Amino acid sequence: MYQGIRISGFGGQGVISAGILLAQAGMTEEKEVTFFPSYGAEMRGGTANCSVVISSDEVTTPIVSSPDTAIVLNEPSLAKFEPMVKPGGLLIINSSLVNSKPARQDIKVLYVPCNQIAGELGNAKVMNMVALGAFAANTGAVSVEGITKALPKIFKKLKPEVIELNAKALKRGAEHKLN
Q: What is the DSSP string of 112-161?
A: E-HHHHHHHHT-GGGHHHHHHHHHHHHH-SS-HHHHHHHHHHH-TTS-HH
Question: Rounded CA gap, 137 and 143, in Å?
Answer: 7
57 close to 2: Cβ distance less than 8 angstroms: yes
- What are the residues whose beta carbons fall under 8 Å from the beta carbon of 170, sequence distance 6 or more? 129, 130, 132, 133, 136, 144, 147, 148
CB 50 within 8 A of CB 67: no
* Per-domain boundaries in the chain: 2-174
107 three-class SS: coil
Q: Report yes or no on whether pTM surpasses 0.85.
A: yes
The pLDDT of residue 62 is: 82
CB 51 within 8 A of CB 33: no
Give, for all 179 residues of the chain, the pLDDT tens digit.
Answer: 999 999 999 888 999 999 999 999 999 999 999 999 987 655 555 679 999 999 999 988 888 989 999 999 999 999 999 999 999 999 999 999 999 999 999 999 999 999 999 999 999 999 999 999 999 999 999 999 999 999 999 999 889 999 999 999 999 999 999 97
Q: Is 163 exposed, middle or buried (0-12, 13-18, 19+ CB in 10 A)?
A: middle
DSSP string, 43-104: STTSEEEEEEEEESS----S--SS-SEEEE-SHHHHHHHGGGSPTT-EEEEETTT--S----
Identify the bridge partners of residue 7 per DSSP, sorted by sequence position.
50, 71
Look at the domain 2-174 and name its fold.
Pyruvate-ferredoxin Oxidoreductase; domain 3 (3.40.920)
Q: Residue 87 corresponds to which amino acid? A: P
